[in-house]
Amino acid sequence: MGNENLYETVKNRICNEIFEGHYEDGDRIPPERELEELLGVSRVTVRKSLELLEEEGLVVREVGRGTTVTLRNAGNRSELDMVVLIAPAQNPFFSEFIARFQNYAETKGALLLYVEKPRTEELERCLYRLYKRGLRNVVVWLEDMTADPDKLRRLRSLGMNLVFFDSDKGLPYADCVALDNRLAVQTLYEELVRQGYKDIAYIGWDLQEAYSIRTRRQAYKEAAGPAARLLCLPWKDAEKSEAMLGRLMTPADAQPDAVICSDRESGELTVETFRKSHAAVKIAAVDELAKSDRAEVIMYRQDLYAAVERIFTCLQDQCTMEGRWTAKLYLIRGILEQGPSVLP
């Protein structure tokens, strides 16, 4: 094995120890003599490997004090020639989002690489695999995945730049870009009131962790106040959800005047169910519905171009600002589109 490869191998061994949580910020790495014996390499190799780690800002070496781990929360200088997207392919917005992202990346001279996280693998381990392959600029569409803040902190320290889409779970170790969900629900509610609808219910999912679902539900409760009527459907259980929507329509005199649906999936399911029951209830939805459903619905759709532009700008800032970068949540305004009223 060549010297350069050996240096990298030793460096990667230490990086792995940092990722796995064996070192905290400020912990000392064993002296060069111990590392030499532990790793079975020469003192020169150990020293060169530590120099590489110091150049990347992962350790500080001081005469008489040894080598100390530094877990920095800063931007990492990198060429933005390749961006990795981890996203749920089954999401209805996926194809449109990735097409917008790919087109925009091309205008910036970057290549977009899509990765679908294996179901049994933690998100952070998937990110670490990418890191070990030299892929340092990653966009994560979290949806219903979980995120470990401590592992995100370690990935940031190791040299990974991260942006989370449609979530705030990356803070404070990643920029987060999302629809302004409060504004979306508030806009739909106010538009329904303006059109004369008074009894306005809300249809969403029973997810507690998903940022967009949680924020939209809270925004509705604030807008409706004591008159709030919430229906939380079981996530990814269409049969039970349709039955619950049917019960919302009975008896007829208890039907709401209008409903706000939390997203495309709940909106399209509501449209289909209400058609079957011939319910004269106005539907509004956050996100854009299928073409066959649009004429009946007031929609507040996401501006994906603005979201993609902001995501790319966040990565550019992380690649260039280094210590001056701090993670932020960027909220993107959507676009209101209206269908006809069903009021008599």
What is the domain-level CATH number for residue 325? 3.40.50.2300
Same domain, 191 and 286: yes
Domain count within the chain: 3
Examine the domain organization and report whether 185 and 296 are in the same domain: yes
Sign of CA dihedral 172, 174, 177, 181: negative
| Judgement on whether residues 174 and 320 belong to the same structural domain of the protein | yes
Q: How far apart are CA 267 and CA 265, in angstroms?
A: 5
Amino acid at 8: E
Q: Are 221 and 212 in contact (CB under 8 A)?
A: no
Same domain, 276 and 219: yes
273 and 206 together in one domain: yes
Q: In this structure, is residue 338 part of a structural domain?
A: no
Query: What is the C-alpha to C-alpha distance for residues 216 and 223, in angstroms, rounded to an integer?
Result: 11
Q: Are residues 328 and 265 in the same domain?
A: no
Q: Could you say which of 69, 94, 123 is where a domain stops?
A: 69
Q: Return the higher-pLDDT residue of 102 and 5.
A: 102
Least confident among 32-36, 101-105, 168-172, 283-287? 32-36
339 belongs to a structural domain: no
User: Does residue 113 sit within a domain?
Assistant: yes
Residue 312 pLDDT > 50: yes
For 2-6, 9-13, 150-154, 179-183, which range has the lowest pLDDT when averaged over its residues? 2-6
- Answer yes or no: do 64 and 175 share one domain: no
Cα angle vertex 171, ends 170, 176, to 5°? 65
In a domain, 342, yes or no: no
Residues 164 and 262 in one domain: no
Q: Is residue 77 part of a domain?
A: no
Domain boundary among 48, 69, 90: 69
Averaged pLDDT, 37-57: 90
Q: Which helix (H) or strand (E) holds 243?
A: helix 238-248
Q: What is the mean pLDDT of residues 314-323?
A: 96
Query: For the ranges 75-79, 275-279, 282-286, which has the lowest average pLDDT?
Result: 275-279
pLDDT at 3: 55
| CATH code for the domain of 31 | 1.10.10.10
pLDDT number for residue 119: 83
Residue bearing the bigger pLDDT, 8 or 173: 173
Transcribe 294-338 into DSSP letters.
Answer: GGGEEEEE--HHHHHHHHHHHHHHHHHHGGG----EEEE--EEE-
Residue 76: inside a domain: no
pLDDT band at 295 (very low <50, low <70, confident <90, very high): low
Q: Using the 3D structure, point to which of 69, 100, 116 is the last residue of a domain.
A: 69
Give yes or no: residues 186 and 297 share one domain: yes
Q: Check whether 196 has a pLDDT greater than 80.
A: yes
pTM of the model: 0.90
Higher-scoring residue by pLDDT: 32, 307: 307
pLDDT at 223 over 50: yes
Residue 209 within any structural domain of the chain? yes
DSSP state of 72: -
Contact present, 152 and 162 (Cβ < 8 Å): yes
Instruction: Tell me the pLDDT tens digit for each residue of 138-173.
Output: 999 988 788 999 999 999 999 999 999 999 999 999
The per-residue pLDDT for 341 is 45
- Given this model, what pLDDT does residue 296 score? 79
Task: Report pLDDT for 6.
Answer: 85
Would you say residue 266 has pLDDT above 60? yes
**Which residues, including other chains, have CB under 8 Å from residue 292's CB and lie 6 or more apart?**
none
- Looking at residue 85, what is its pLDDT? 96
Q: How far apart are CA 87 and CA 94, in angstroms?
A: 8
User: Are residues 296 and 189 part of one domain?
Assistant: yes
Range of the domain at 63: 3-69
Residue 41 phi, psi dihedral angles, 5° rounding: -130, 175
Q: pLDDT digits over 87-97, tens only?
A: 988 777 888 89
Query: Given this model, what pLDDT does residue 28 score?
Result: 94
pLDDT of residue 342: 45
Co-location of 187 and 287 in the same domain: yes
Does 294 score more than 50 pLDDT? yes
Look at residue 340 and tell me if it is in a domain.
no
Q: Are residues 222 and 292 both part of a single domain?
A: yes
Would you place residue 290 in the very low, low, confident or very high pLDDT band (cuts 50, 70, 90)? Answer: confident
